[in-house]
Chain A
Amino acid sequence: DQQVKQNSPSLSVQEGRISILNCDYTNSMFDYFLWYKKYPAEGPTFLISISSIKDKNEDGRFTVFLNKSAKHLSLHIVPSQPGDSAVYFCAAFRGGGGSNYKLTFGKGTLLTVNP
């Protein structure tokens, strides 16, 4: 039972255009969401996060949108740069104590930004 789904294994965009990476979740108890970026032979690095009490969070070129009713979040990268080429993982926390420090990850989306 995959609770966090990234249905696009890969995405290719042109430099300067917008990249939109999507993520769906099934567990309504998730209340905090994160995006990680991963380059080959490196560990995932934290990119941006959003709490379920918000619907948007922005950090420079990166914006995450959350639609709780649809259980959907997306990461927008504007403008896309070749250095953004990496695998992007969506991850979610379930709040409420107990196991709320465990992350559930999607399978990742490989973004390629072409010069």
Chain B
Amino acid sequence: DAGITQSPRYKITETGRQVTLMCHQTWSHSYMFWYRQDLGHGLRLIYYSAAADITDKGEVPDGYVVSRSKTENFPLTLESATRSQTSVYFCASMRQGVNIQYFGAGTRLSVL
């Protein structure tokens, strides 16, 4: 049971580069989420998706793009990375009707 996996686990990039973080879940959960974790802020929601082809902005969406062409995948793209996007990114999924989100192991992104 693979669950929810994120790749890569670590990424270093330069400002202005495009970066895509991958998230894959094997549970066929309807809902998927992207969070970032920063010191002093806890976990903040970037984008979420209720189903394939349905996405919406969270608390901190600026500078990020998401897509969800398949239920199991929810990639997060930084179109032009900035230093302020250095963070740890977590993907999560949730089954409809059950109010528990399950998280991946995270991607640590450094933008130099």
Q: Which residues of A contact B (CB under 8 A)?
A: 6, 32, 34, 36, 41-46, 49, 89, 91, 93, 101-103, 105-108
A102 near B45: Cβ-Cβ < 8 Å? yes
Complex interface: chain A residues within 8 A of B42 (CB): 6, 89, 105-108
Give the distance in Å from the alpha carbon of A35 to the alpha carbon of B102 in the complex: 12
How many residues on B have C-beta within 8 angstroms of the other chain's C-beta atoms?
A: 24
Given A44-B103, A105-B43, A107-B42, 18 other A-B contacts at CB below 8 A?
Answer: A6-B42, A34-B99, A41-B105, A41-B106, A43-B92, A43-B103, A45-B103, A91-B43, A93-B99, A101-B31, A101-B48, A101-B50, A101-B94, A102-B58, A103-B33, A103-B101, A105-B44, A107-B41
Give the distance in Å from the alpha carbon of A22 to the alpha carbon of B91 in the complex: 26
A sample of 17 inter-chain contacts (CB < 8 A) reads A6-B42, A34-B99, A41-B105, A41-B106, A43-B104, A43-B106, A44-B90, A44-B103, A91-B43, A101-B50, A101-B96, A102-B45, A102-B58, A103-B45, A105-B35, A107-B41, A108-B42
B102 near A46: Cβ-Cβ < 8 Å? yes
Partner of B105, one of A42, A107, A108: A42
Q: Which residues of B contact A (CB under 8 A)?
A: 31, 33, 35, 40-45, 48, 50, 58, 90, 92, 94, 96, 99-106
Complex interface: chain A residues within 8 A of B94 (CB): 101
B41 near A42: Cβ-Cβ < 8 Å? no
Specify the chain B residue showing the minimal Cβ separation from A34: B100
Complex interface: chain B residues within 8 A of A42 (CB): 105-106
Task: Using known A-B contacts A34-B99, A107-B40, A108-B42, determine if residue A102 contacts B106 with beta carbons closer than 8 Å.
Answer: no
Query: Could you tell me the distance in whole angstroms from the C-beta of B49 to the nearest C-beta in chain A?
Result: 10
